[in-house]
Amino acid sequence: MSPNRIAVACDAARRRRAIADFEEWSLIVGHHDRQTAEIDRTDDLVLSKELARREVVLELAQALHVTERTIWAIVFESRTLRERTPAVWEAFRAGDLDAARVSAIADCAERLQTRAAWTMLEHSAPEYAATHTVSELRSWLRRLRARLEPEETKTETVKAVEDRRVSITHNDDGTSWLNALLPTGVAIAVGARLRKAAKALPSIDPETDEKDRRTRDQKMADLLAHWLTCSEGTATDIRAEIAISIAATDLIGLTDGPGLTLDGEPVGSEWVRELAQSEHAVLRRLVLDPIGQVLDTTVLSYRPPQSLRQALRWRDGTCRVAGCRAPVHETDQDHAIDYDSGGDTSASNLRCLCRKHHNMKSHGHLDDRYLDPPRRYVERYLPCPPIVTVIDMIDPRRITA
């Protein structure tokens, strides 16, 4: 079967699955609405009515072999979508979006506070959701919310940080999980420092002269255990090499948009400003052209210099294969046109690919159609009624001529 035919067949299958999701949601919501309307028309006591509503949910859960919590979530999210973002509900009805995607959008709609924000979400989310994975969509929704309602997002973050904690869960095999709930920026710094330290460990043990056969994950776990059992530090001092981008206007406080990590996660602008004032911080300017693309640089050698590598990491964020979320620090810089075949070492001919996809490309099994275009950092205006503004990292797939 040709690539076009398999793509059409897969799209049809995806659409049938999405429509089946909508039919199930509609069945649940329709039955729940009819039954609760009858209950509300009775003269029973308030408690009796509430218990009767719970029976409706239990009936649906038993019939579909799911939990009552699942039924409650579908009812609540359906109501949120129909009231706040009806266009998203219609995209669900048409099969453009499936249940997982509309559930993520409904969660964002519930968190947003203003009608203007709901309108922005309603007009922007369906197009993005239809062409990205659920993980990418959730990250995009977090960025959108941080940009649309920075004060509300900041308040929520402050409250969430108050719940920071460490927990230990014991397994049955002599291991235990050590879980830490931390502010996003600190967690990123911890991960970055662990990865760098694990990579720097010698491949040959200097004491035994034996090869270190531990995986990277094992090395990181061992380092964390060593640091936590040996260190007596009592204050957070971020010295890891982390990368956060933020618009100049946000950095100086003229606007209040979030900073963005390499993989597109938003972090509070106040925290970025505080970090920027640290004696250990190094600020680098990322120069963009008028349409938001990282300005091209060409060198004559095969290996790109460090400055170009950093720009490429910022531009791509993750592996460039659509849907692949491999962190950019785990990727290789691949020449689209091989260097030996005349391809130059430039931003236009280089892209970040994880090792798996890089190997596939090297052996002729990674067509360019599987890759996302380079990311752009621009302000974009959507011509939808009413006129709204999207300020975000824009996927060029959404930009039409």
pLDDT of 391:
45
Residue 357 in 3-state DSSP? helix
Q: Which structural domain, as residue segments, surrounds residue 17? A: 3-148
Query: Tokens standing for 44?
Result: 């029973």
Question: Which is nearest to 393 in space by CA: 365, 371, 374, 366?
Answer: 374
pLDDT of 223:
92
Shared domain for 71 and 113, answered yes or no, is: yes
Shared domain for 219 and 264, answered yes or no, is: no
Cβ-contact 263, 325 below 8 angstroms: yes
pLDDT of 287:
55
Shared domain for 33 and 128, answered yes or no, is: yes
What's the CA gap between 96 and 127, in Å, rounded? 9
Phi, psi of 212 (to 5 degrees): -80, 110
Residue 333 in 3-state DSSP? strand
H-helix segments, 265-343? 269-276, 306-316
Total length of the chain: 401
Shared domain for 271 and 343, answered yes or no, is: no
Amino acid residing at 107: D
Place of tokens 């260097």: 339
Shared domain for 42 and 124, answered yes or no, is: yes
Is 53 a domain residue?
A: yes
pLDDT of 7:
86
Provide the strand spans (E) within 259-375.
259-261, 266-267, 298-299, 331-335, 345-346, 350-354
Is 397 a domain residue?
A: no
Shared domain for 119 and 13, answered yes or no, is: yes
CATH code, domain with 326: 1.10.30
Is 321 a domain residue?
A: yes
DSSP 288: B
Question: Which is nearest to 264 in space by CA: 142, 120, 390?
Answer: 142
Is 389 a domain residue?
A: no
pLDDT of 383:
43
Cβ-contact 108, 153 below 8 angstroms: no
Is 215 a domain residue?
A: yes
pLDDT of 164:
92
HSE at residue 171, side-chain half, CA atoms within 13 A, is 6
Is 192 a domain residue?
A: yes
Is 168 a domain residue?
A: no
Number of domains in the chain: 4
Query: Tokens standing for 219?
Result: 């090395």
pLDDT of 90:
96
Shared domain for 9 and 143, answered yes or no, is: yes
Shared domain for 43 and 107, answered yes or no, is: yes
pLDDT of 357:
93
pLDDT of 281:
65
Cβ-contact 302, 342 below 8 angstroms: no
HSE at residue 11, side-chain half, CA atoms within 13 A, is 10
Shared domain for 193 and 117, answered yes or no, is: no
Shared domain for 13 and 74, answered yes or no, is: yes
Q: Select from 148, 163, 198 the last residue of a domain.
A: 148
Question: Which is nearest to 393 in space by CA: 382, 383, 379, 381?
Answer: 379
Is 269 a domain residue?
A: yes
Cβ-contact 167, 179 below 8 angstroms: yes
Cβ-contact 354, 331 below 8 angstroms: yes
pLDDT of 242:
62
Shared domain for 211 and 120, answered yes or no, is: no
CA distances from 335 to 53, 251, 324 (A): 61, 34, 18
**CA angle at 263 for the pair 258 and 269, rounded to the nearest 5°:** 15
pLDDT tens digits in sequence order for the chain, 401 residues long = 677 888 899 999 999 999 999 999 999 999 999 999 999 898 888 888 899 999 999 999 999 999 999 999 999 999 999 999 999 999 999 999 999 999 999 999 999 999 999 999 999 999 999 989 999 899 899 989 988 898 888 888 889 989 999 999 999 998 999 999 998 888 888 888 898 889 889 988 888 888 988 998 999 999 999 988 887 776 766 665 666 777 777 777 777 777 777 767 787 777 777 777 766 666 665 555 555 555 555 566 677 877 778 778 878 888 999 888 888 888 999 999 888 888 888 888 899 999 999 999 988 888 888 898 877 655 443 444 444 444 444 454 544 43
Shared domain for 85 and 39, answered yes or no, is: yes
